[in-house]
Amino acid sequence: MNDNEKALMHQFEMAAHSQGTAQFLYNLFGGGFVTKQQAKETIDFCIAKMKRDIESIPNLTREQKDNEISTRETWFNALKTQMGL
């Protein structure tokens, strides 16, 4: 699976866990618009999934996990701020 396919699958996974999945998919791929609430829920899901994925890495120390989570969470929060969420 190439990077574009992975990104697309990730988008579908995020959409499946957000409120109004059908509406979100229609807006994302059907030329509509995604509401601020849908965008916020999607980013919040990405943050939660990222934390879960990092926590499940067995060969990282607690400090490494905390640093990685903090770095990525800062990036996501900056994205939310830039989007006005």
39 vs 45: CA distance, rounded Å: 10
pLDDT at 1 over 60: no
Instruction: Provide the whole-model pTM.
Output: 0.61
- Residues near 8 by beta carbon (within 8 Å), at least 6 away in sequence: none
In tens, the pLDDT along 35-82 reads 777 778 778 888 888 888 888 889 999 999 999 999 999 988 888 888
In three-state secondary structure terms, 84 is coil
Q: What is the pLDDT of residue 28?
A: 67
Cβ atoms within 10 Å, residue 50: 16
Domain span including residue 66: 3-83
Locate tokens 């995020």: which residue?
14
Q: What is the pLDDT of residue 35?
A: 75
5 vs 36: CA distance, rounded Å: 25
pLDDT at 9 over 80: no
| Number of domains, the chain | 1
